[in-house]
Amino acid sequence: MEKESIDAYVRQWFAPEDEVLKQVKERIHQAGMPQISIQPEEGRFLQVLVKATQARLVLEIGTLGGYSGIYLARALDEQGKLITLEKSAKHAALAKESFLHAGVAHRVELILGDAHATLPALRRRAPFDLVFIDADKPSYPQYLAWSLELLKVGGVVAVHNALRRGSVLGVSPADAYTEMMIAFNQSFAKEKRLLPTLCPLGDGMLIGVKLH
């Protein structure tokens, strides 16, 4: 079975991408920003996590153009809130437009700045129901530690790019972050405070339920 055809099958039936989302990816492209938003089937997967945790408060680390944020915010109730962290002012500006276009801006709080500097203030907003980590890969261990601190028991942490296009299992060439992600996946798998798994959809999503 080909990974691409499996993803395409999931996308066809479980992850329609509407005009608003297509336009976000187009504007990211036009702005010359990295085209590293999640895939629609990964967005749907995040929405399932929002609903399954009955999330009222979601944290995202790494906003880019707001593509994944729209999926998260759309799955929240009217009283729900997404807090999303982004260090690039250019990315944050485009993301704000995206949230307005999608009609979810009232449910999204975008915090501009390096996540290492902006995370400590979120202690007073905790507990979070769901954390989605999708920013700089070398900081993943620190973002996981923050997630464990900020999540409620029963809350879920999701981490993007666990497969690094298959390089972590040696079926595609290693890149600068492959070794790092191999080590991170192993520590995630062994984390005693989590019930962990790796969902191979898209570029791979680590999922962990906070146990205690």
Q: Convert residues 115-134 into a mask of x (bound to ligand SAH by CB under 6 A) and - (unbound).
A: xx-----------------x
Among 161, 184, 188, 209, binds ligand DHB (CB under 6 A): 161
Helix (H) or strand (E) holding 204: none
Among 10, 40, 46, 62, binds ligand SAH (CB under 6 A): 62
Among 140, 181, 203, 208, binds ligand DHB (CB under 6 A): 203
Under the criterion CB under 6 A, does residue 136 sit at the interface with ligand SAH?
yes
Residue 192, SS3?
Answer: coil
Under the criterion CB under 6 A, does residue 42 sit at the interface with ligand DHB?
no
- At which residue do the structure tokens 């999640």 appear? 38
Helix (H) or strand (E) holding 187: helix 178-190
Under the criterion CB under 6 A, does residue 160 sit at the interface with ligand DHB?
yes
Rounded-to-integer distance, Cα 199 and Cα 45, Å: 10
- At which residue do the structure tokens 């600068």 appear? 176
* Token couple for 79: 């009283």
Q: Which residues bind ligand DHB (CB under 6 A)?
A: 36, 134, 160-161, 203
